[in-house]
Structure 1
Amino acid sequence: MENLRRDWPKRHALTPEEVAVVLGRNSNSRGVLQKIREGMKSGRYPGARKIDGHWQLPLEDLAEILDPTPETVMVPVVAKAGRRRSQVGPRIRFVINARFFAQVCDSIGYAQGAQALRNDAWTVREELRQEDYARRAERSKMSLVEALAGLGHTKDD
């Protein structure tokens, strides 16, 4: 900000031509000036205003563009690269545990709880089977498509 005030004394805002000079771009280039005007219009240069039909950018806002004040940045948490955990394992473990606790419930005389656990285990087991069938069908489909694509190309082509 100090440099801007020193270089542009008694000025509160700069024109697109002057902004180009500050940004180190060729202020004689029509394309550069057009991009700066478009940036002022679109909001890429925050604080820019059109006064009496001419775009102007306040010195404070230009200083913020040149040297932004540090602010708290939220860094996204990225999962570790490596082996992806299966979604199948926990569900298989649920089926096994549900069957075990169904036997426990039977042993202590809680038949209704045992039947509910068996039903839940059966539902999860069937979902796993359907997913497995779908995966197998997709693999089979892909291998057939690849085989058919291979038949279309011969050495004579």
Structure 2
Amino acid sequence: MFLMDLQAIYPPSVVPGFMLTVKNYYIKTYKDQFFVNPPPFFKLFIWSEILFQAPVTVWALGGLYRNSPKIPLVLLPYAIVVFLTTLTCMVEYASWEVPLADKIELTKLYGPYLAIATFMIGDMYLRLDGVISRASAASGGKKVQ
């Protein structure tokens, strides 16, 4: 995120040479047009990475280690954001006029993020469902449907 993605919003004058080298290698290797000419929505996604995803990731590492009961409450929306932003990028690059082989290579990069986010959505939903069911049972209330 900090080496590649955020270059889309950094002023060019503050990007160190080694980061430009990494970016140029990435563009040459994967032909990812988001880093050649980022569309406005991509910059919005980058801002969500720095303002939402990065802080949540840092918090979640500790929360998972402590087995915090708040994990699903925070990671469900996080996973949904990652899923939607990744899916949007994948739909966008599917329409690019580049060879199919380039799209396949991009899918190898973006696909795991989509798969992990999908797994997280299911896992966090099931965890929240369990918490709600236990709370309902403990209070003698009806099962929440």
Shorter-chain TM-score above 0.5: no
Larger fraction in helix: 2
Larger radius of gyration: 1
Instruction: Give the TM-score normalised by the residue count of structure 1.
Output: 0.34
**Structure with higher RCO (Cα < 8 A, 6+ apart):** 2
Instruction: Give the TM-score normalised by the residue count of structure 2.
Output: 0.36
Larger fraction in strand: 1
